Structure 1
Amino acid sequence: MSTDDAWKLMSGVPETDGQSIGQLNPELLQSVAHSMSPYAADLGGADQPDKPGFDIAGWADPTDNGHLAGSSNVFAALNTDEEAGTEFTKNAYAAMLAKESEYAQDPYASNAANSLSTAGRLQGLVDKGLLLSTQDEFHDVAEQNKEMYERKAAAYGALTAVGGEALGKVPGGSYVNTMISAGGDPLKEAIIGKEPEPEEQATLAGPNWNKHYYSILNATPELPAELVNDKEYGWAFDGQGKLLPWEEAQARIANNIERGGDYDTMFNRLGRHDDGHGTRITQGYNDVVRNNG
């Protein structure tokens, strides 16, 4: 499933008039997606000692350069059936949010930035997998773009529909709850994007990272006093030193893009200053979606 040849075979099975494995046997693919969902984080390079026995060595990242071409092909194959793709993407989103929340809870831990790299790779895998699978299924680029958006929205909706109390009882669920609560609609839009216009081309425009940074900052139990008290960022905080809701803060700066970049700067000033955390999530994403091989 992970090699380029395997993906070509599964996206257009011989002697089936070009049908994919998901079109030919959706029930089988749904079963595979369900059984692999607990290991979605592994495909993004996460270390999950509580889930032994799933080995990605040699195939998830065959060129050993962080591009995770093998993992991308798995995501693409599972998305040849919409239901299977929604199930797997839902769990990938949960793993991604848990990693962002892990960082937010203790940004000063010695290996905290590694969680951000994994989060970026997971979002990249979702986007790259959907791009590959819908390219195979849709020849009209506007329809493809619409389909990618709708599938991401369905997966995120399936995740939030689980409900906070139920989600909090599963491993890592409390971390996911924290991020969903902290990020709200801005985080949702950062992950699934804006609903595309009919004439838009099917491309990977990339997430709105400022909304990711806002969500992580908002999930951090106590922001550094030097951030809260810095007058340059006064527009972003209320009188009690808490981050304002996204829309309220944007209204204060009239949606000025340059000033909105202060979230990026504040995020860079959070946590350790020797771990490169400010670029880890974007680098993880770019390594996956902007490279072949």
Structure 2
Amino acid sequence: MTPSLPGFRHELVPVAEGVRLAAAVGGEGPPVVLLHGFPQTHLMWRHVAADLAADHTVICPDLRGYGASDKPAEADEHTYAKRTMAQDIVTLARELGHERFALAGHDRGALVAFRAGLDHPEAVTHLACLDVLPTLEMWDALHGTSAAVGFHLYLMAQPPGLPEAMIEASADTFFGHFLDVWTQDPSALPDDVRAAYLAASRAAVPSIVADYRASAGIDTAHDRSDRAAGNRLTMPVTVLQQDWGAALGYEAEALWAAWADDLTHTTVTCGHFMAEESPKEVVRALRTLLTR
């Protein structure tokens, strides 16, 4: 039986022509939207969402191209641009009755949240980004042999064909690798949850690759344009990250401060999947953010 978020209803919401997002919705109160990362689905928020739903309307979608959401073919570089995916989220919230909402994202979802904060400051009241760097800074941080940790970024940045074929040939091994090596506490990903992530990723290889390919192209261009224009995140921002800076040679808080006017940056000691490995810490950070 596929695991789910107990007490949440599931909706399939049109957000663009030919694109519907699957979303778990629960609770009542000020809206909070939670965006998952790679190689996961909205299920990664199961602990955090249950807590927040006590006094918030919590919306947990599968991103375009992931999970049970639609997976449009990569027609051009815009199909999986974070700008396009951010618009999906703003439209989703609006379709569910919310013009303004708090937004938190992990990994890929954090990049979508970051773009939503820049493009739609009138809609995003508070922003949290978990264990990621903005796209420009991410590529700059990867250099020399230390960049081997991000091999998947370079693989999926290649033109259509090769990365899809390589990953599809051994999808469970590829996606399972990240579930294994990025987790400090394997018990945080029970067998049924791990199986659900693998099944969802196995069925979405072309769209997942397209999402990553966009980050090496159009997403970088959009971020560079915002940087040149001096555009910044104007809402309260919370960032939770592992301490990758020591290994890759950057100061994470300073990189984020270049984008955010009102920043709280915290280094955490758990693995990458912090909403599952350390949900109490994540809930505490989000609840503090929502009071700012």
TM-score (ref. length: structure 1): 0.30
The answer to which structure has the higher helix fraction is 1
Decide which structure has the larger Cα Rg and report it: 1
TM-score (ref. length: structure 2): 0.30
